[in-house]
Structure 1
Amino acid sequence: MGRNRSLAGAPEEKTCAVCGRRIEWRAKWADDWAAVRYCSDACRRAGLTDADRALERDILAMLEQRAASATICPSDVARATADDWRPLMEPVRRAARRLVAAGEVEILQHGSVVDPSTAKGPIRIRRVR
């Protein structure tokens, strides 16, 4: 729970439509919380592109080709998408976080499900169990 979560009347948490990270509630948004979609100005400017949606589909397609208990690395998706795959690593991680928010996948570290908003370092992606 975020530090503002302890405030009485704080609404349910949301995730950013672009990066998939948790949006922390702020009192200044009390009147228009329903309209808040982005965690930052950077995400608002970037928006959600067709390429972002394609990465989500690529993650789901790759998981569909594997055993039900299998996991994939974001680099697996990036390598399958482009020859110059390194710039795609963060976009794939964002796509995975959006899929977590949609309830379609889980993000793991060291075999345990982790909060995608705070996960740092190597991650694995699997279908929801």
Structure 2
Amino acid sequence: MSTTPASKSCVSCGRTIEWRKKWERDWESVKYCSDACRRAKVSDVDRALEAAILELLDARSAGATICPSEAAKRVAGVDDEAGWRALMEPARRAARRLVASGDVEVTQRGRPVDPSTAKGPIRIRRRR
């Protein structure tokens, strides 16, 4: 009897990839949750958002949180409203990747949540 392999995170969006029977032969090589993520990959802007999240958290006291919009504004520039708003979903993806790497956790109402399924406003803090 075989056991189901552990789930893993998409390298592009950070969402959880659940094992599927069709991936049985090549589960080790599965990196992306969808064709859209395979095409998108991780860009320099995505890496800049990850760095901005970590820098903002480093500047705060232990246990303090940030909003993804703060990282988006730092990368796009506070005065560029259309630019930072366009970076909101990439900032959420960056937060999910950082959760997968163990650096941060995503919270809602002060409690950690699964970033793959979180809907609505989120906050990001260093992992406790």
Equivalent pair of 2:48/2:75 in contact (CA under 8 Å) = no
1:117 paired residue number? 116
Output the CA distance in 1 between the equivalents of 2:63 and 2:5. 34
After superposing the two structures, state which structure 1 stretch, 91-100 or 76-85, moved more. Answer: 76-85
Identical columns (%): 65
For residue 23 of structure 1, report the CA deviation from its aligned partner: 0.5
Q: Could you list the per-position Cα deviations for residues 1-42 of structure 1 after superposition, in whole angstroms to 9, with x for gaps in the alignment?
A: xxxxxxx62101100000000002110101110000000000
Counterpart of 1:5 in structure 2 is: none
What's 2:53 paired with? Answer: 59
2:67 aligned to 66, 73, 85, which one?
73
Normalized against structure 1, the TM-score is what?
0.92
Matching residue within 38, 44, 48 for 2:32: 38
Flag structure 1 segments of 5+ consecutive residues without an equivalent.
1-7
Aligned residues: 122
Per-residue deviation, 1:68: 1.0
Equivalent-residue separation in structure 2 for 1:25 and 1:69 (angstroms): 33
CA displacement, residues 59-91 of structure 1 (integer Å, 9 cap, x when unaligned): 000100111111000011112222221000000
**Partner Cα distance (1:19, 1:59) in 2:** 15
Q: So what's the TM-score if we normalise by structure 2?
A: 0.92
Q: Does 1:126 pair with 2:120?
A: no
Tell me which of 3, 11, 19 is aligned to 2:5.
11
Find the aligned partners of 1:42 and 1:105 in 2 and give their Cα distance.
25
Cα distance in 2, alignment partners of residues 123 and 28 from structure 1: 33
